[in-house]
Amino acid sequence: MNNKIDTAVTRFLTNRARIGPFELAFWIAAFATIYLLPGRHLILTEIAIWGLFALSLDLILGFAGIISLGHAAFFGVGAYAAGLLAKHEVIVEPSIALVFAGLVAAALGFATSFLVLRGSDLTRLMVTLGVALVCFELANKFADVTGGADGLQGVSDHLAPVFGVFRFDLFGHNAYIYTLAWLFVMFVLARRIVNSPFGLSLKAIKGNALRSSAIGIAVNWRLIAIYTLSAGYAGIAGGLLAQTQAFASLSMLSIDRSADVLLILIIGGPGYLYGGLVGALVYRLLQDFLSSFSSRYWQFWIGFVLIMMVLFGRVYGGIIAAVIIGATIWFDLSPTWSFLVLGLSLLVLGLAREILVKWIALAEQQVSTWLSRVWTQSKSTIRARLDHGAGA
């Protein structure tokens, strides 16, 4: 009896870490883009970097419950570290320079982690925002080191080819492979970490810090550890951007970037590691798609999508937003008219939210019962046919 429970326990715990078919398909598709979409490598590089950056935020937000509005601080510091290492020929090998960029960002993360230990979400938002603002202005002030508002020039002059062989070419092929390889390695590491006892203890802390310390978990040290690690991840993402673009600028430290990465993670969904990657893909493609219709106002639509997702959940909100935005594009409305339509839909949908959510739940239930009925019916039909066939 006991043995049976033990087996069930082991299976239950290890199942969480098993690689599913969707995961396999995701990564096969990701690596297939190297050959299948050679003309898209520049934007894919950008997406992969956003994905890694959002993954770093997921580590603290999705798994430890630490919300940050200043994660660009670590991204930017990593970018400048990688840029400066190359510019001054300290470390010319990109992959080693990137490790250092991550370490520098992690050191900053460790130093500021003590500020986010205590307090509510609001305190954490303000503290992280403050840290990012300080970093931004420091980079702005010390223009002789960072290049200030002009950005850091001359990164490409001394950046060696990766492993001394693969030079970053104009079309970004090697840069994409390099970025994707980093993303993959960092993802596998993160996956391993969140499925470890340490990762589980983070989830526990997120769920109930009081009980966590009551079972002997050193809550603060665990939070410091994951915050430091997350900062390192963000630093590597920033370093990748600096290396692949051969440039570092103040925008990499900006509040906009911190807000964007939060947006990306929320669109993709925190707490399961793929949220950041999916979010980056959706966000960047959406941005590309929408700005082809209205290059000036694309953020208006993004805002609309976000509000719909918050009101109706990720899937249904996404569908509703797609239908309404699709309609404005289909009828070829001018920006003014589509603003009006979207604004009105916001008002109506916002007011009718409760009823709509109820309808959606009802419809979901009916569809699922209908599906299961069809399933059992078709199963019995098939079985009857088979029996009949065997009989004849």
Partner 1 sequence: MAPVLETRNLDKRFGGIVAASGISIAIRKGARHALIGPNGAGKTTFVNLLTGVLRPSGGEILLDGAPITNLEPHRRVQLGIARTFQINQLFADLTPIETLGLAVSERHGSGRDWWRIVGSRAGITVEVAELLERFGLADVMAERTATLPYGKQRLLEIAVAFACRPRVLLLDEPAAGVPEAERHEILATIAALPADVTVLLIEHDMDIVFSFADRISVLVNGELFVEGPPDDVACDPRVKAVYLGEALDG
* Shortest distance (Å) from residue 222 CB to partner 1: 8
10 binds partner 1 (CB under 8 A): yes
Determine which residue in the list 158, 173, 203, 314 makes contact with partner 1, applying CB under 8 A: 203
Site for partner 1 in 217-236 (CB under 8 A): 217-219, 222
The full DSSP string for 152-169 is B--STTTPPPBTTTB---
Determine which residue in the list 195, 251, 254, 287 makes contact with partner 1, applying CB under 8 A: 195
Of 197-205, 254-262, 299-307, 345-353: span binding partner 1 (CB under 8 A): 197-205
Q: Where are the alpha helices (DSSP H) in the chain?
A: 2-15, 21-36, 41-64, 72-87, 94-116, 121-141, 143-146, 173-194, 197-207, 209-214, 219-245, 255-268, 274-293, 298-312, 314-330, 335-351, 353-391
Count of residues near partner 1 by CB under 8 A? 35
24 binds partner 1 (CB under 8 A): no
Give the three-class secondary structure for 133: helix
* Shortest distance (Å) from residue 9 CB to partner 1: 5
Q: At a CB cut-off of 8 Å and minimum separation 6, what does 86 contact?
A: 92, 94, 97, 155, 156, 158, 159, 242, 243
CA gap 52, 186 in Å, rounded: 8
Of 8-16, 61-69, 158-166, 345-353: span binding partner 1 (CB under 8 A): 8-16
88 phi and psi angles, rounded to 5 deg: -95, 15
Site for partner 1 in 164-193 (CB under 8 A): 192-193
* Shortest distance (Å) from residue 94 CB to partner 1: 27
* Shortest distance (Å) from residue 201 CB to partner 1: 5
What distances in angstroms separate CA 266 from CA 31, 226, 366, one per listed residue? 25, 19, 29
- Of 248, 256, 302, 301, nearest to 279 by C-alpha is 302
216 binds partner 1 (CB under 8 A): yes
In this structure, are residues 367 and 323 in contact, taking their beta carbons and an 8 Å threshold? no
23 binds partner 1 (CB under 8 A): no
336 binds partner 1 (CB under 8 A): no
Of 46-54, 100-108, 210-218, 381-389: span binding partner 1 (CB under 8 A): 210-218
In this structure, are residues 87 and 217 in contact, taking their beta carbons and an 8 Å threshold? no
Of 72-80, 127-135, 174-182, 199-207: span binding partner 1 (CB under 8 A): 199-207
Of 25-33, 60-68, 209-217, 251-259: span binding partner 1 (CB under 8 A): 209-217
In this structure, are residues 265 and 62 in contact, taking their beta carbons and an 8 Å threshold? yes
Which residues, listed in sequence order, are joined to residue 162 by a DSSP beta bridge?
Answer: 166
Based on CB atoms, which residue is closest to partner 1, 5 or 170? 5
* Shortest distance (Å) from residue 99 CB to partner 1: 18
245 phi and psi angles, rounded to 5 deg: -95, -5
355 binds partner 1 (CB under 8 A): no
Give the three-class secondary structure for 6: helix
196 binds partner 1 (CB under 8 A): yes
Based on CB atoms, which residue is closest to partner 1, 71 or 222? 222
28 binds partner 1 (CB under 8 A): no
> Where do we find the tokens 């230990």?
117
Q: Calculate the dihedral angle through the C-alpha atoms of 222, 225, 227, 229, rounding to the nearest 10 degrees.
A: -140
1 binds partner 1 (CB under 8 A): yes
Give the three-class secondary structure for 73: helix
The mark string for 30-49 relative to partner 1 (x by CB under 8 A, - otherwise) is --------------------
* Shortest distance (Å) from residue 208 CB to partner 1: 6
295 phi and psi angles, rounded to 5 deg: -65, -20
Binding interface with partner 1 (CB under 8 A): 1-2, 5-6, 8-10, 12-14, 16-17, 192-193, 195-201, 203-204, 207-208, 210-211, 213-219, 222
